Amino acid sequence: MILNKRKVRKISCEEAVKRLFVYIDNYLHGNAKDELEQHLEVCRDCFEKAKFQKQFKMRMRKLKVEVPTPVLKKRVERILEAI
Amino acid sequence: MLTEAERKEISSIVLPHLNRIYRFSLYLCRDRDKAEELAAESVAKACEKFKTLKDRSKVRQWLFRIVNNTFVSQYRREKFIKGFELTELSLNGKMTSPVPFRQGGISSAHPEKILINKLLDDDIKFHLRKLPEEFRSAVVLCDVEGMSYIEIAKVLEIPIGTVRSRVARGRGLLQKKLMRHAREMGFVKAVKKREKEKVCDCK
């Protein structure tokens, strides 16, 4: 298959899955990325896995934020006043 | 002795990050009181080391590194970390109560979708805190705090390859625990273990 006028090697599902995390973290580049994207275009199962991992990462970003107690805030203010 | 201007500068840099400092401390210590101690101590250390911060745009990374180093050098050694048993109260003082959901509409081919929509934040945080420390820090910094691999490598002072590996293994472990939890709660039926390498139609 030709992608952007370059020949892109076909990869297996096993290879695709190994690259998924790095891909969703925007750390996959060049041929490795092209090969994975080509695979995701034709493999429904791996496409669904990639979609799930992206959604799971977004879900983690939206976890309810823990906030410090007023006690900690006061303590930090005292530290900053004392320096 | 710092001038008033320097004191104001430190406050303006550190205070906006207090929530994040506390949140990261909480994931490290897994105990509210210890997390507050760690956060306060880290702020004090940040004030002492303020002159080592050369690039103001990297303040978050710098602060998180201080939190992590303080944790590693003091709290881990003193074994302040408390684990959570599945039967104990969750951090906010309430039992994580399973909310029954209808099972209709869940794709049997991709039951992990339940992890996105059906689990509560408390369930996810509970299991995230149960991860081994090295995986927990990596997943928290990457997925909760949204840091890049390079930033995480600087905070944890480990190579980028190690960051990749810990994030991957941490996520895998977390998702496995959450899936097991979802089955225990009855959110999803047990599914057959799929083959590790699928021969797909794409070949």
Q: B18-29 and B59-70 are packed helices; what angle lies between their axes, rounded to 10 degrees?
A: 30
CB–CB contact B19 A48 (8 Å)? no
Tokens 């008033």 belong to which residue? B4
Residues listed for chain B:
203
Tell me how far apart the alpha carbons of residues B140 and B171 are, in angstroms, rounded to a whole number.
10
CB–CB contact A25 B142 (8 Å)? yes
* B190 sits in which H/E element: none
Average pLDDT over residues B65-85: 71
Q: How confident is chain A (83 residues) per 10-residue block, as mean pLDDT?
A: 66 95 94 96 94 93 85 90 81
Strands (E) across chain A are located at: 2-3, 6-7
Predicted-complex ipTM score: 0.85
Average pLDDT over residues B105-123: 67
CB–CB contact B2 A83 (8 Å)? yes
Average pLDDT over residues B180-185: 86
More confident residue, A52 or B107: A52
pLDDT surpassing 50 at residue B90: no
pTM of the model: 0.78
pLDDT surpassing 90 at residue B68: yes
Residue B179: name the closest of B195, B191, B167, B162 by CA.
Answer: B191
CB–CB contact A43 B167 (8 Å)? no
Cβ-Cβ contacts under 8 Å, B200 against chain A: 13, 43-46
**What's residue B98's pLDDT?**
35
Beta bridge partners of A3: A6
Q: Which of A78-82, B12-16, B40-44, B105-109 has the highest mean pLDDT?
A: B40-44
**What's residue B1's pLDDT?**
63
**What's residue B110's pLDDT?**
63
Average pLDDT over residues B80-90: 38
Q: B160-184 and A13-24 are packed helices; what angle lies between their axes, rounded to 10 degrees?
A: 100
Most A CBs within 10 A among B131, B200, B201, B203, hence the mutation to make, goes to B200
Query: pLDDT tens, B18-55?
Result: 999 999 999 999 888 899 999 999 999 999 898 888 89
CA angle, B147 as apex, B142 and B148 as ends, to 5°?
95
- Of A56, A71, A79, which is closest to B115 when you measure between CB atoms? A56
**What's residue B9's pLDDT?**
87
Most B CBs within 10 A among A8, A55, A80, hence the mutation to make, goes to A80
**What's residue B51's pLDDT?**
85
For chain A, helix, strand, coil in percent to 5 are 65, 5, 30
Beta bridge partners of A7: A2
Check CB contact of A74 with chain B, cutoff 8 Å: no
Cβ-Cβ contacts under 8 Å, A40 against chain B: none
Tell me how far apart the alpha carbons of residues A69 and B92 are, in angstroms, rounded to a whole number.
13
pLDDT surpassing 70 at residue B201: no
